[in-house]
């Protein structure tokens, strides 16, 4: 019964978001100064609300750990993202993605049914030729979803990440659905990384858009998953990242192209490109290793471009699925290839996301995320 009610809630909220996006398109086509093509399903959700008064993201406000693993209701958005490359006992490889997203409709800090917080979470498991996925949506204030730090816990329904300390590690990710489940024990095998300037990550050099960003790129994970009634014991490498801010896109920004890659020399590379309808794309990234060395990559350090033309998916969307990524300063030249083409995720915030492999100056594997197409 609860599964049926929750399914109806998800369907209703997704319909509302879709209708809001459609409304924006029609409004802009008749009255707006912004062209219709500048609106899409991503920036319709992540653009800041001019009427709301959230805390701004400022460059002189460094991220502090473990304090900033806390809930940040004074900001509009908060996003946790976990991705793992794992294999089972027979050597079969999988990608596991778990995201937990909070978005506030306004700046009030009211409780109960008056809470302005909306939570969205999804789990995706990808094999060489199949995908399992599910989304949950819940409102805050009534105990159905939330975040606490003492001890650390993020939850929505019976999905949760929790630990016994104020930090995420060592921690467990437990997600169960009617069709599949994941139970993973995770521990940090390397240092945390503050992206950008001590956690302040600018996303354009000319536009006032930025976020606070921290990641744990060196995570070991081990546990089990159940697919189609069969239990698989799995283990592998993973990373967990957290980002928060107010208005994660600026007006005219279309979306982003993100790669998180683990290189065969043990270092991790994360690069992002934020696309804009009227200005050149802005690129940034982080290269780090287990010794604690962190190299902040700026726009001029990174050259990332589609390596071939766009690929047409079964839903008729066209995306660049093969990329060339160069960081000449550190002798990195990679060509990426997706594990599975049909990875479009039709969630409340829709995007392509899935495991990739890379060859070239290094062998690598990790994640690609494309939004706004």
What is the mean predicted confidence (pLDDT) over 137-149?
93
Q: Which two tokens stand for residue 72?
A: 């940040």
Q: In this model, does residue 20 exceed pLDDT 70?
A: no
The predicted-structure confidence for 237-296, as pLDDT tens digits, reads as follows 999 999 999 876 666 678 899 999 999 999 999 999 999 877 888 999 999 999 999 999
What is the mean predicted confidence (pLDDT) over 51-69?
89
Helical spans, DSSP H, in 121-198:
none
- Where residue 3 falls among pLDDT bands split at 50, 70, 90? very low
Give the per-residue pLDDT at 206.
Answer: 74
CB atoms within 10 A of CB 329: 13
Give the per-residue pLDDT at 45.
Answer: 55
From start to end of 47-176, where are the E strands? 77-88, 93-104, 117-126, 131-139, 145-149, 152-156, 159-163, 171-176
Structural domain of 281: 2-371
Give the per-residue pLDDT at 289.
Answer: 96
Quick one: which H or E segment has residue 368? strand 364-371
Q: Which two tokens stand for residue 113?
A: 């049914």
d(CA 222, CA 96): 12
Q: In this model, does residue 346 exceed pLDDT 50?
A: yes
The predicted-structure confidence for 296-313, as pLDDT tens digits, reads as follows 999 999 999 999 889 999
Give the per-residue pLDDT at 53.
Answer: 82
CA distances from 312 to 341, 355, 368 (A): 9, 18, 17
The predicted-structure confidence for 162-172, as pLDDT tens digits, reads as follows 999 999 999 99
Please state the domain count of the chain. 1
Identify the CA nearest to 238 among candidates 192, 186, 174, 275: 186
What's the predicted TM-score (pTM) here? 0.85
CATH number for 10 = 2.40.370.10
d(CA 235, CA 124): 16
How far is C-alpha 52 from the chain's CA centre? 24
């Amino acid at each position: 019964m609860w599964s049926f009610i929750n399914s109806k809630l998800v369907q209703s909220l997704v319909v509302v978001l879709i209708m809001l996006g459609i409304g924006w398109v029609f409004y802009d086509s008749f009255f707006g100064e912004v062209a219709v093509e500048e609106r899409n399903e991503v920036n319709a959700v992540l653009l800041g609300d001019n009427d709301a008064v959230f805390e701004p993201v400022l460059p002189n406000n460094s991220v502090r750990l473990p304090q900033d693993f806390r809930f940040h209701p004074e900001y509009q958005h908060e996003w946790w993202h976990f991705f793992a490359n794992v294999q089972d006992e027979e050597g079969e490889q999988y990608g596991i993605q778990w995201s937990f997203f909070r978005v506030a409709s306004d700046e009030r800090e009211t409780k109960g049914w008056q809470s302005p917080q909306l939570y969205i979470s999804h789990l995706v498991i990808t094999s060489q030729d199949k995908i399992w996925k599910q989304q949950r949506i819940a409102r805050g204030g009534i105990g159905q979803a939330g975040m606490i730090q003492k001890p650390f816990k993020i939850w929505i329904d019976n999905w949760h990440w929790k630990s016994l300390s104020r930090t995420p590690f060592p921690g467990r990710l437990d997600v169960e659905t009617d069709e599949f489940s994941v139970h993973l024990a995770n521990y940090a095998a390397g240092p945390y990384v503050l992206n950008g300037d001590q956690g302040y990550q600018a996303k354009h050099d000319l536009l006032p858009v930025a976020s606070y960003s921290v990641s744990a790129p060196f995570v070991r994970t081990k546990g089990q998953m159940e697919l189609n009634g069969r239990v698989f014991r799995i283990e592998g490498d993973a990373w967990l990242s957290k980002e928060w801010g107010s208005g994660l896109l600026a007006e005219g920004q279309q979306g982003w192209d993100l790669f998180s890659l683990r290189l065969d020399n043990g270092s991790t590379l994360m690069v992002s490109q934020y696309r804009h309808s009227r200005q050149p794309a802005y690129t940034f990234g982080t290269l780090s290793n287990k010794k604690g060395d962190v190299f902040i990559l700026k726009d001029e350090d990174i050259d990332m471009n589609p390596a071939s033309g766009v690929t047409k998916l079964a839903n008729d969307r066209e995306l660049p699925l093969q990329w060339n990524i160069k960081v000449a300063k550190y002798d990195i030249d990679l060509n990426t290839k997706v594990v599975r083409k049909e990875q479009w995720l039709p969630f409340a915030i829709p995007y392509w996301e899935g495991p990739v492999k890379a060859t070239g100056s290094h062998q690598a594997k990790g994640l690609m995320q494309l939004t706004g197409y």
